[in-house]
Every structure is written in C-alpha cells, then in structure tokens.
Amino acid sequence: MNRRRSDALPDEERARLEGLIYEEREARQRAESLAETRLQDLYAKQQQIELLNTIASAANQSDSIAEVLRTALNAIGEFLDWPVGHAYLARKTSSSDLELGPTGIWHLRTLDPVEAFRESTEDTVFRSGQGLPGRVLEQRAPVWVEHLDQDLNFPRRAAAATSGLCSGFAFPVMVGQEVACVLEFFTAETTPEQPEVLALLAQAGVQLGRVVERNRHAERLIHHASHDPLTGLPNRRLFHDRLEHAIARYAREPESLFAVLFVDLDRFKLVNDSLGHTAGDELLAQVGKRLLTALRQNDTVSRPGGNQNTRPDDTLARLGGDEFTILLEGLHEPVDALRVAERLQAILHQPFSIAGQTVYVTVSIGIATRPYGQACPVVSPDQDGPTCAEDLMREADMAMYRAKSLGKARCEFCDPGMQSQALESLRLETSLRESVERNAFVVHYQPIMSLADNRITGFEALVRWEREGELLPPDRFIPIAEDAGLVHLIDMQVLYTACSQLQAWNAQRSGPPLTISTNLSARQLTRPELVDEVATILCGTDTPPEQLRLEITETATLGNLDELIATLKGLKALGVSLAMDDFGTGYSSLSYLHRLPLDILKIDRAFVAGLDRDEYSQRLVQTVINMARNLGLEAVAEGVESNTHAATLRALGCTRAQGYYYSRPVPADRAGDLLAADQLPLVTA
Ligand code: C2E
Ligand code: CA
Ligand code: CA
C-alpha cells in the first residue's frame, strides 16, 4: 500500500484498514512458516532458506509491489551471484489476454556493460509465448536458457551478446492460477540449468504472489474509501484532493484556467417519493454514467493553436444525494466551462428509463472558475488571497443555488462579470451556428494585380458576416467560429461561392483566366475530409484546379508538422496552388519552410507599410522576395496603399500585389465593374 495515499484517509478508516492488513499479515506469516518448514526438509541448505526468509520478511515490510519486486530481485541476484535481474508486470490487453510490460525495476551489479541489454528490455512488451518472459507467462512455470545466443525465441539476442550475457532464466510470480509478474536473471557465464534453483524460486514466486495479492487488496480498499459505491465515481474526499492539486498547478501555470461545476438534479425528491428509493438510486447511477460519457468527449472546448487533446481528464464526483461536482482543467476561457455545462444539460434532457417508467431530468449547474472575470462581490472579498478547495466548492454551490432560485434547469456563474462575458460569447456562437445553417455569409473580393501592367490577375475572397443589419469583418467572428468548431463550414461555403463567382467571370472573359484565392483556417488543416471536400467543390463548380489558390497561415505549423505536410500534399495533388499568408508575422521557421509544398509567399502588409518609411523594411521585403525566389516561390505583396509602395515592390522584383491603392475588398457586383473597366481607377473609396 502506498503510504502517502493512506495518509489521506481519516484516522478511524486508516485504523480499520491497518487492522485488516495486520490480521492478514499474521495469517500469512503462519502459512509461510509452515511452508518454510516443509522446504527445510526438502533442501537442507541453509542459504536457500535464508533467501526465502529475506524475501518473506522484505515482502512483509514492503509498502508497494514495486518495492517487493526490487527487494526480491536484489536478494535473488546476490544469492546466485548473477549480475542482471529485471521484473515484468502482467497486464490485460484490449482483448483481455495477458501481456508483460517492463517495470524498469532492476538488479544490476555493474551498470555500464549491460546498457544495450537494458535499453532493449525496457523497449519491449512480451505477449504470451514470446521470448523468455512470454514463455514463462504461457507455461506458468520457470524457464531456463543455457545458450542465449542459440535460442531462436529470444528477441533480445543481439543486445544480450553486446552486453556479454550468456545464460538466463525467468520464473513467474503467481496470484492463484494467474501470472502477476515475471522475474528474469542473466549471467555472463554459460550456466546449465539448475533444477534445485528453479524449484526454490518457484516457491519464492508463490510467496511473492501472496504479497502482490495483499497489495492489490489494499489498493481495492483504498479505492472503496475514495469512491462512491453507488456510481463508482470519486467521492467528496477524492474530489477535494484533485481540486487542491488543480489549485496548486494553477498557481504554477497561471495561463491555464480551471472550473468547478456543481450539478444538482431538479426535483429529484419527486422521483424518490413516487418511484421509490431503488428507482432513485438507479436514476443517479444512470445520470453518473451519462455525465461521464459526455465529459470524455470534451472536444468542443477551445484550444489555443488548434492543438487537440491537450486538456487533462476531467474529474466527475458524486458528493452524495443528487449532487455531482465536476473539475474541468486546462480551459482556454470561461465560456469553455459554460459550453461544457450546456452540453451536459442537453445530454441529461434525453429521457431516462427507470423501473419501466420514462423519467425526465433537468439539472441546475453552478460554475466557479479561476481567475475571476471581474471582482466577485458575492463571496471572496480578498481576490488576491490564496484560493482553497473549500472556497471554490462554496462558490460553485452558491451559484447552483442561484440557478435554482432563478427557475432551475439553468447554469449560473459565481462571478457575474464572467457570466455576462461568457453569455455574450455563447450568444454569438449560437447565432453564428444558425448563420452557418442559413449560409448567411457574404463574400467580398479584393483584386490581385500584376505589378508589370496594373491589370487584374485574380481576386482574394474575404468573408463578411451579416448580423443584425451590420456587416462584421472576419476578425470579429472567425476566432469564435474556430473555438466553436464551425470554421471549416464557413471556409467551405466561401470556397464554393468564390469558385462559382470565378467561373461566372471567366466565362465572360477573353484573356487569360483569373485566379481566386481563399483562406483556410489553421484549425481545419488536419481534418481528414478537407482534401475530398475541396475536390468536390472544384468539381461541382467546374473550376480548373490551377485557378484556385489556397492561403494558409503560419499558425498551421504549430501543430503536427507531418500531418500538415500530408494534407498540403493531398491538396497539391488536386492541382491547386498553396500560399503562405501573412508571411513573417508568425512563427515561421525557415528550417521547415522548404518542407512545405508551397507555391506562393504573401508578404504581410506590416512590412509593406514600412516601405516608404524606413530602409529596414525595404531590406526585409527584399530578403523575403529573394528567399521566395530561391525556394522557387512567387512573392505576392499585401497592403499596397500608395504608388510608392507599388513602385518600390516592382523595383524589388515583386510581381503581384493587392491593397487599398488598387481597391478595397468589394461585393461581387462591384468587383465585376472593376473587371469590366479592366484598367482600374487608381484610388477607390
Ligand atoms: P488576410 O488573408 O491577410 O486578408 C487581407 C486583409 O487585409 C483583409 O482584411 C483586407 O481587407 C485587408 N487589406 C487589404 N488591403 C489592405 C490595405 O491596403 N491596407 C490595409 N490596412 N488592409 C488591407 P479582412 O477582410 O478584414 O480579413 C482579415 C482576415 O480574416 C484575413 O486576413 C484572413 O486571415 C481572415 N479571413 C478572411 N476571410 C476568411 C475566410 O473565408 N476564412 C478564413 N478562415 N479566414 C478568413
Ligand atoms: Ca489571405
Ligand atoms: Ca494576409
């Protein structure tokens, strides 16, 4: 048993556990002394008895399985005078078979010469029948290998040879009929099988098995002491522990947010009174299960940089009665907690079937988070003082009561400032979701010019959101769409609209066809469906792939680079061109730029803006243009606002540009007018 964990128990519980363990130990010592007597008759060798004694007493004093194994490895290694010993723990595979994993617990008399063998051992998991430990697992009996270099079922042969090991054996630690661990030993001298040693160690294996069993039993007792028997969920004590840990972690890493959700069933008493307590218990168990399943799919929570799976597991606990608490960690902003809470409510709204009856449940949820949005006058007057688990639990509890008093079936934050901020985000998200369904986005087009002759070569499509009579720019809603997992839908709608529009324009033209550039959010670049969706849109709008230029930003390179490269290659294979947008503003590292299959670098407008102000910007832009040329990429400048910008860029060797100097992004009909005029007016409002 782990001492630290047992300290977390209250005194009377610990006394009870210790009593149980003491009784068990007594009984086992009696059994062991009997076994030893019989062995004494078998092997009169004092040394061997001593070995068993050492193992028995060490095992009795050990607090953990790891400690038992370490003691046994050292005792046996020294007894045999063999330099290398290692222990494996058996574990269940997904198909419920047993396999053996390395524990990293060793007996090593000399370290360096066997490093190769040690590494190869710690890299390997053995299935039944595989290698030396696998054979022990399969046969549930010791196995001896006299010549490691001649044994065909010994995958670590080469490493053993490098480390100068010649012979070895392994034996099982049995719990009942099952192998719990396997211990193996190796020596540099070729040693023929010693049956009396194997018999002795088989005995040691049984003895060790009892200790392992006791430890497992103790761990089960601890589990009982920290979990709710009805739902199997952590109880108040364990939740409190986890919360204290989260608070400590937050003090170290203040950028990560966490929240406590206090969930209370509305009108649970009614179920209990009308259907009986057994039905009430059944309902609580089912609620616990649903909450747990919902929390495991914690994917709607935003993650900076589009990183997936960075949030630690959430903790769901049952405090008692119809009260559950949830600890959410690694949140990005307070609205994340609200998103989770709303999803939980929606999931619990599905009817339950209890004792043959359909039961409907609503819950009231109180949310407390750190850090506060604004001062929270309700509770902690001392905002800067250290937070403790009790504070947060009390705040979440109070917020839950407010949710009840405001009419139940709702979520409330403890902090009113945070509440309104989160609600505003969520309101925007909801109407964004509706707009995606109605395709309520408008696409504006900004011409991209050839610097050589000031003619339009194509357009960049830029999305706008028509909301309550206002046309919102992308910066106001794309980040929210990204967090809400909606951005890919918007991007694909824009792509469809822009490709259709392009074909309408190109059909009326006699000159070279125009190109269209659209933006892809970094958040969706690793979606496996992306390439197929782009292909479908190209096909559905009759767009030749060489007319499409997809723009990605440097943020995309923050995630898994190999995955990104695979997606980009898929897109390239369709025949479209790829551009790196806003080049130079982000996280670009020149070391990977050549690995990405790009065609275009877009020079960010921040650099272009400096062109008529300082020489440094000129040199910077020159460098980017040269670098693009060296990598075989085209450089396109953004944010050209004056004739000076255009002239300088032309002189520096840049071939295409866009910016307010030529035209702001405009609706499709105005863009059509620009095309018709062909030669653009030099300044438009
Ligand atoms: P971006 O791709 O860098 O787009 C260029 C932005 O610069 C546009 O802002 C454009 O209006 C602005 N701009 C163009 N010429 C000039 C100029 O001469 N001076 C100045 N100061 N600004 C100029 P907009 O339309 O507000 O778009 C902002 C960003 O939103 C875009 O930056 C792009 O990253 C993103 N975005 C736009 N449409 C979409 C879309 O459909 N999907 C996604 N995922 N992102 C989009
Ligand atoms: Ca762009
Ligand atoms: Ca840009």
What distances in angstroms separate CA 565 from CA 308, 523, 536, one per listed residue?
17, 14, 21
Q: Is residue 341 a contact partner of residue 243, using CB atoms and an 8 Å limit?
A: no
**CA-wise closest residue to 75 among 163, 201, 188, 169:** 201
Q: What is the pLDDT of residues 92-120, one digit of tens each?
A: 877 778 999 998 899 998 766 888 899 99
Q: Is the CB of 606 under 6 A from ligand 1?
A: no
Share of the chain above pLDDT 70, in %: 90
> Of the residues 459, 462, 534, which should be mutated to test ligand 1's pocket, given the most ligand atoms within 8 Å of the CB?
462
Q: What pLDDT does 50 receive?
A: 79
Q: What is the pLDDT of residues 542-551, one digit of tens each?
A: 999 999 999 9
pTM over 0.75: no
Calculate the average pLDDT of the chain: 86
Q: Ligand 1 centroid vs 537 CA: distance in angstroms?
A: 22
Confidence of residue 590 (pLDDT cuts 50, 70, 90): low
The two structure tokens encoding residue 670 = 């105005």
Q: Is the CB of 494 under 6 A from ligand 1?
A: yes
- Judge residue 180's burial from the number of C-beta atoms within 10 Å of its C-beta, 0-12 exposed, 13-18 middle, 19 or more buried: buried
Q: What is the DSSP letter of 118?
A: H
What pairs with residue 175 in β-bridges? 178
What distances in angstroms separate CA 264 from CA 132, 313, 324, 571, one per listed residue?
55, 21, 6, 49
For the chain, the C-alpha Rg in angstroms (whole number) is: 34
Find tokens 């390395």 and name the residue: 102
> Of the residues 490, 501, 519, which should be mutated to test ligand 1's pocket, given the most ligand atoms within 8 Å of the CB?
519
Q: Ligand 1 centroid vs 473 CA: distance in angstroms?
A: 8
Q: What is the pLDDT of residues 267-281, one digit of tens each?
A: 898 888 888 889 999
Find tokens 């088989």 and name the residue: 202
Cite the DSSP H helix spans in 171-235.
195-226
Q: Position 75: which residue type?
A: A
Q: What pLDDT does 374 receive?
A: 38
**CA-wise closest residue to 376 among 421, 314, 428:** 421
Q: What is the pLDDT of residues 389-421, one digit of tens each?
A: 888 998 999 899 888 888 889 999 988 776 777
Peptide bond into 371 cis (omega under 30): yes
Mean pLDDT, rounded, for 572-584 = 93
**CA-wise closest residue to 207 among 406, 35, 393:** 35
Residue 380 pLDDT exceeds 50 = no
- Judge residue 146's burial from the number of C-beta atoms within 10 Å of its C-beta, 0-12 exposed, 13-18 middle, 19 or more buried: middle
Number of helical (H) and strand (E) elements in the chain, helices listed first: 23, 22
Among 469-473, 592-596, 627-631, where is mean pLDDT lowest? Answer: 592-596
Q: Is residue 368 a contact partner of residue 396, using CB atoms and an 8 Å limit?
A: yes
Residue 245 pLDDT exceeds 50 = yes
Q: What pLDDT does 6 receive?
A: 47
**CA-wise closest residue to 546 among 522, 582, 519, 512:** 512
Q: Whose CA is nearest to atom 37 of ligand 1?
A: 462
Confidence of residue 1 (pLDDT cuts 50, 70, 90): very low
Q: What is the pLDDT of residues 288-331, one digit of tens each?
A: 999 998 887 654 444 444 444 456 778 999 999 999 999 998 88
Q: What pLDDT does 430 receive?
A: 87
Cα separation of 160 and 158, whole Å?
A: 5
Cα separation of 435 and 487, whole Å?
A: 12
Q: Ligand 3 centroid vs 430 CA: distance in angstroms?
A: 28
Q: What is the DSSP letter of 464?
A: E
Of ligand 1's listed atoms, the one at least distance from the Cα of 602 is: 3
Mean pLDDT, rounded, for 241-264 = 87
Residue 484 pLDDT exceeds 90 = no
Residues 6+ apart with CB under 8 A from 381: none
Q: Is the CB of 487 under 6 A from ligand 1?
A: yes
Helix (H, G, I), strand (E, B) or coil at 317: strand
Q: Is the CB of 462 under 6 A from ligand 1?
A: yes
Q: Ligand 2 centroid vs 577 CA: distance in angstroms?
A: 13
Q: What is the pLDDT of residues 44-67, one digit of tens each?
A: 567 777 788 888 887 777 777 888
Confidence of residue 43 (pLDDT cuts 50, 70, 90): low
Q: What is the DSSP letter of 521?
A: -
Q: What pLDDT does 8 receive?
A: 65
Residue 21 pLDDT exceeds 70 = yes
Q: Which residues of 487-510 are buried (b: 16+ CB within 10 A; e: fewer)?
A: bbbbbbbbbbbbbbbbbebbeeee
Q: Is residue 363 a contact partner of residue 262, using CB atoms and an 8 Å limit?
A: no
DSSP for 238-296, please give it.
HHHHHHHHHHHHHHH-TTSEEEEEEEEETTHHHHHHHH-HHHHHHHHHHHHHHHHHHHH
Among the bound ligands, name the one nearest to the CA of residue 517.
2
Q: What is the pLDDT of residues 603-614, one digit of tens each?
A: 999 899 999 888
Among the bound ligands, name the one nearest to the CA of residue 642.
1
Residue 533 pLDDT exceeds 60 = yes
Which residues are placed with Cβ below 5 angstroms of ligand 2, an ion?
A: 519, 551, 581
Q: What is the pLDDT of residues 431-467, one digit of tens each?
A: 999 999 998 899 999 999 999 999 999 999 999 999 8
Q: Position 605: which residue type?
A: R
Mean pLDDT, rounded, for 195-199 = 89
Of ligand 1's listed atoms, the one at least distance from the Cα of 446 is: 14
What pairs with residue 265 in β-bridges? 363
Domains of the chain with bracketed CATH? 61-225 (3.30.450.40), 228-426 (3.30.70.270), 439-677 (3.20.20.450)
Cite the DSSP H helix spans in 101-179.
115-122, 131-139, 157-162
Q: How many whole angstroms from its chain centre is CA 624?
A: 36
Mean pLDDT, rounded, for 131-157 = 95
Residue 540 pLDDT exceeds 70 = yes
Residues 6+ apart with CB under 8 A from 313: none
What distances in angstroms separate CA 216 from CA 89, 220, 226, one per listed residue?
13, 6, 15
Among the bound ligands, name the one nearest to the CA of residue 602.
3
Q: Is residue 550 a contact partner of residue 299, using CB atoms and an 8 Å limit?
A: no
Q: What pLDDT does 17 receive?
A: 83
Confidence of residue 42 (pLDDT cuts 50, 70, 90): low
Q: Is the CB of 168 under 6 A from ligand 1?
A: no
Q: Is the CB of 519 under 6 A from ligand 1?
A: yes
Cα separation of 18 and 423, whole Å?
A: 51
Residue 233 pLDDT exceeds 50 = yes
Q: Is the CB of 582 under 6 A from ligand 1?
A: yes
User: Between β-strands 323-331 and 315-320, what pairing exists: parallel, antiparallel or unpaired?
Assistant: antiparallel
